[in-house]
Each structure stands twice: as structure tokens, then as C-alpha cells.
Amino acid sequence: MKRAMKYGMRLQAGMALILAMCMLVGMSCPALAQETAGPGDTGEDVVKLQMRLEELGWLEEGTYESGLYDDATRQAVTRFQQASGLFPTGWMDGKTRNMLFSGDAAVCIPEEKEVFREEVYTEELADVDMYVPLYTSSPTSIPVAPMYGSTVRAGNIQEWNTEEFAPYRESGFQSVAVSPLSTFAADIDTAAYSQIRSRILHGREVPAQLVRIEEMLNYFRYDYPMPEEDELFGVSLKLAPCPWNDETRLLQIGLQAQSVASQERVPHHLVFLIDTSGSMEGHDRLDLVKRAYQLLLEALDPEDTVSIVTYASHERVVLEEAKAADRARIMEAVEDLEAGGGTNGSAGIMRAYEIAEKYFLEGGVNRIILATDGDLNLGISEPGALADLVNEKKKHGVELTVLGFGYGNYKDNRLEALADFGNGNCWYIDSIHEARRALVTEADGTFRTVAGDVKLQVDFNPGFVRGYRLIGYEDRLMAPEAFADDAQDGGEIGSGHRVTVLYELVMTDSDFDFGSVESVYAKTVPADFSSMLTLNVRAKQPGSAESKLYTYELAADTVPEMDDNIRFAAAVAEVGMLLRDSPWKGTASYASALELLRSAHVTGDTEKEEFLYLTGLLAKNEQISGK
């Protein structure tokens, strides 16, 4: 294997120089501009990849379907990656593509072809080949190694962008004696993780304000119990040692929503609301939007209906209540869209709600699916005003899903506000695979709400817990009094979705000093009380105006122990705290997060394997930079 691997390693020494030369002469590297390709993809790009793999001997003629990224193609890519010293994902990411089309690409040696097997090299991941960053980061962001991408920085030269993120202060420890109740709304958005992943893979900075740890945690699946017949959620409460602080404990709360059976599917009316302004020009924007909607259209039932509204300088109704069975007509309307003009998003949103209400389906799914970069420059554009707009419109029963696209002018704060106040969810689409995940694989969870206005409140027993810190959910915090107030918004949870919550706890026998205070009038609960904490969950059944209370307790004698769920979640939290440079990160490092992932048995879960890969890149960068 070593003899074959040497062929793919020659590119590393010259890659940084090649990228810098491209920048200096004003050239763009075509291979770097391509997005990731993987199983199920089709088209001319796949044909080129297959021809190159066949030319190098990794793919045999007649064993694959031309133009389709089939299993034979995936296996060939995996073997090439192994021979080139890359992480063997089977996906054609930017770095793999660069090596494949280089003059020193690894050539398959027939007698050694069987040496390369499909497996995940978790034990060797710390030695993943990387490039040293070509730029200097600002104090508010963390540099990561550029794997590929169309952007290059040298020295302190920064790329122009107008991105916006909502500012927030990371939660610190709270004293149980003063604040025994921790209250917040559920959140199942995952857009922050998708953006972080994209930036790491492209060698871009990760702004600290982008790192929302709850969205990183909730991107992944966990082994939580399924709900009982009369409950909306299956609930898991686990206590474990804290990996980054020996003097604290880690509490994991897991909620698993019920899944709606396919035979219970109801009719859908979806309004495709598409931003066609000038900022949406590009393969990772409007072109990707078109491909995403095609995936969704193919997944709909023939009797579902679709309307299309676009907006640029003005809004326009392109199509009204077309049957999904008429796919050719719908896709022709989508394909004809072109980018240009200003961005009057508020006008488009109002028109989309008008169309959704016009064709409202009683008892069905009524949802607007907005595709945009959030760069609004006409009409209502402030996050608060946009939130007020959708908050008023949602009262008619129409929900909103936000799909974010692009980089450089992306308005994360506006799209998060729209999703939060529109009773919806927010995704960041950086590839066709993420589009498939949002609109096909997890379509039921994206479109079908099974629990509304979900709120959580943890009541800590001061006889066992002295202090606590909620990790993430900073923009979802609520006053304790809002928990039982059904007029106060919570979070919407879709079919089969999960909610993962982590707390760092200071037990009464810990010497950890977090600056706690205590009232002279506070009474400590005797230590023989049966529970150390109580989890209260409020949620509304679909269509109901009243919430129902669910209560769960964690026994006082619970023994802290690690399982795969907590190991993985702890690793995600460590990475998030490091990206934010959290004051509470303790002894956390990318290397320690990597060790947690290696022991969490992630093999077989492609999304967790991908996070393992990203953490390996960060760990290597940490090793190179000496941080």
C-alpha cells in the first residue's frame, strides 16, 4: 500500500504555490470551483470524473453507468483516495478532484488493486494530509486549513464580503441557589453546522458568531428511545464525566419525536419562493436552487400542488397550484429563471403568503420554501421587521422553511429570524447532497410538524447541583414565567426529528469556582431527595392552542458514565467551544475531540464519519500551528 500511496503524495509540496500563483495572475482554478460530487449525482461532470478514473486504471470500462455516480464509481474514488493519502469517503470533494486531475495523480497498479479496501481509517485520522493556512485570521475567527475552494488569501489580504451574523453572548454558569430554573425553546435548525463544514472544507474563516453549538449537536442522529403511544417524545436523561473539566459533570437531554407513517401522509401545497436577484447568480446559488427544487419535485406525490413566486426588484407569480404530476411544466418554469436586479424580499414574502392562503389545504401541509442568500436591499430588510412580518402571517396556518445559499454576502441573521418567527426551520445548502437531506431524506421532518411551541425547563435540585451551564441555545432562552404561557412561542419539531441538549453541571461536592452567589434566605433541599433534577417539557399537538406538560426526573443516585451518544455530543461541543474560543473550554482540544469520536463507534453513519474527518483536519491544523 505504501508503494501505491506515494503516487498521490507529490502534489502537496506545490499546491500552496499553485494557488498563490493563480491569485497573483488573476486566474481561477476551474477544478477548485466545482462542488462536491457523490452517489446519485448525474451529468457531464460525472462523465469527466469517470473518464479520468478509467484513464488512471481505477475504474474499469463496462463496470459503471456513464454519467451516473454509481457504486462502482464510488468504490473507484475510495481506492484512489486511499492511494493518495486522503480520507476514503468515496465522495469527490475538492481536494480529491485536484489530485485526480493533476499531472501526478496516483495510477492504479493492477497487482495491488485489491490492497485498497473500503474502510474508515479512524486510527490514522490524526495524520490526515493538510495544507497550512495561507492567511491570517482576525481575533474573532478561527483559521482552518484550506482543503479547496475558489478563494485564496495571502498575508492579511481579506476577501470582500458583507455577511451578517446575529451577535450573542455565550452562556456562563448559573447558581442553582439563585436561578434553579433553566428555560428555553426547542431548536432543530442545523444551518450553522452546514456553514461551518463548508468553510472548513473551503479553507475559509469560521466567524465566532456563526458557531451555534445547539445547531451542531442537532445535525446528527442519536440513539434515543422512541416515544410511547401517548407521548410526543421519547426522552433520554444521561449523566457523564465532563471530558474538558474534571470538576464538573455533563448532562445530556435527548428528545426523539414520533415519526408520521407514510400511510398517514396528507396532501401538500408548497409555494416555491425563489430569490432571483443579481446576488443569486452562480453555480452555488440559483443553479443549485434549481437542482434542489428538482429533487423535491421528484419526491412529491402526484396530487400534491406547487406554486412558484420569485422576487428581484419586484415580485412575480410564475405558477399557481400546478399538480406535482406535471413535473415537466413545473421544472421548465424553474429552469427559465435568471438572476438579475435588486432584492425586494419582503414583497416576495407577502405575495407567497397570499398564494399559500389562496390555495390553503385544510388538514394538509401548507408551507412556503424560501431559497435565498438573504441579501435584501429593497423593501423591508431589517431582521426585526422581517420577523414581525412572518410572525403575523403564520397565524393563518402557513409555515415557512428557509434554504440559505451562497457565501460572501450571506445574511445568516435575517434567515434565522425568518425561520424562527415563521414556525419553520432553516437549512444552509452548500451542495446537492445537503439539498437532498433537507428536502428528500428528512422531508417529513422538514414539512410535517408533530409538536408545536416546544419549550424545555430544567429544575435543578440545590441539594445535589450547585451550578449549571446550558451549552448553546443562547438565542432561545426564555424567562421561567414564559414556560407555562401558551401565548409565548416555542420551537416547532418535525416528524422524526431529534433535540439534543447539553448542560455542564457543578455538583455540590465539587470545588470548581464559577463565582456563585447565594441568598441568605435560600433553603437547601435535603440530600435524601429522590431526584437531582426534573425536566419539564411543554408542547402543543398540531392544530391545538393549548400545550400539554410532560415531566421526567433524573434519579439522585445516577452514576455518571459515558456512552456513544454522550461521547459524540461531547466531541461536537468541544469543537464548537474551540471554534468560538470559549472561556469555558477547559482542557478541550481538537485532538481530545478526535479521541472521543474514535471511541463513539461512528463507522456506518456517514454524517458522523464526515464530522470525524473535519475534526481530523482541525486537529492537524492545531498540531501545525502549535495552538
Any idea which of 173-182, 369-378, 610-619 has the lowest mean pLDDT? 369-378
Q: Is the pLDDT of residue 250 over 90?
A: yes
Closest by CA position to 33, among listed 207, 211, 210, 287: 287
The pLDDT value recorded for residue 524 is: 60
Residue 16's pLDDT band (cuts 50, 70, 90): very low
Q: Is the pLDDT of residue 136 over 50?
A: no
223-236 per-position pLDDT tens digit: 999 998 778 899 99
According to DSSP, the β-strands at 315-323 and 268-275 are: unpaired
C-alpha cell at 354: 397570499
pLDDT at 429 over 90: yes
Average pLDDT estimate for 503-519? 88
CB burial of 484-493 (b: ≥16 within 10 Å; e: otherwise) equals: eeeebbbbbb
The predicted pLDDT at position 526 comes to: 57
Please give the pLDDT value at position 465: 95
C-alpha 152/C-alpha 510 separation (Å) is 48
pTM: 0.75
Please, which pLDDT band fits residue 574 given cuts at 50, 70 and 90? very high
Reduced to 3 states (helix: H, G, I; strand: E, B; else coil), residue 369 is: strand
Q: What is the DSSP string of 4-64?
A: HHGGGSTTHHHHHHHHHHHHHTT---HHHHSPPB-TT-BSHHHHHHHHHHHHTTSS-TTSS
Alpha-carbon distance of 72 to 262, in angstroms, equals 32
pLDDT at 380: 58
DSSP for 94-125 reads HHHHHHHTSTTPPPP-GGGGGG------GGGG
What is the pLDDT at residue 382? 62
Confidence (pLDDT) at 99? 83
Q: Which residue has the higher pLDDT, 116 or 273?
A: 273
Q: CA 499 to CA 470: how far, in whole Å?
A: 14
Classified as helix, coil or strand, 256 is strand
Does residue 5 or residue 58 have the better pLDDT? 58
Could you please report the per-residue DSSP string of 280-305? Answer: G-STTTHHHHHHHHHHHHHHS-TT-E
Confidence of residue 626 (pLDDT cuts 50, 70, 90): low
All domains in the chain, ordered by first residue: 2-119 (1.10.101.10), 174-260+450-609 (2.60.40.1230), 263-447 (3.40.50.410)
Average pLDDT over residues 267-273: 94
Residue 379: the pLDDT is: 56
Question: What does the alpha-carbon distance between residue 567 and residue 248 come to, in Å, rounded to a whole number?
Answer: 15
pLDDT number for residue 3: 39
Inform me whether the pLDDT recorded for 496 exceeds 50: yes
Which of the pair, 34 or 425, is modelled with greater confidence?
425
Query: Is the pLDDT reported for residue 443 higher than 90?
Result: no
pLDDT on residue 160: 53
Lowest mean pLDDT among 141-155, 264-278, 279-293, 382-396: 141-155
CA angle 54, 15, 96 (to 5 degrees): 35
For range 418-441, the mean pLDDT: 87
pLDDT bucket at 585, cuts 50 / 70 / 90:
very high
Give the distance, in angstroms, between the CA of residue 86 and the centroid of all CA atoms in the same chain. Answer: 24
Phi first, then psi, for residue 596 (nearest 5°) are -60, -45
User: Quick one: the chain helix, strand, coil %, rounded to 5?
Assistant: 35, 20, 45
pLDDT at position 129 is 38
Percent of the chain with pLDDT over 70: 81
Least confident of 162-176, 498-512, 570-584: 162-176
> Are 341 and 312 contacting, i.e. CB atoms less than 8 angstroms apart?
yes
User: Which residues neighbour 607 within 8 Å (Cβ) at sequence distance 6 or greater?
Assistant: 219, 220, 221
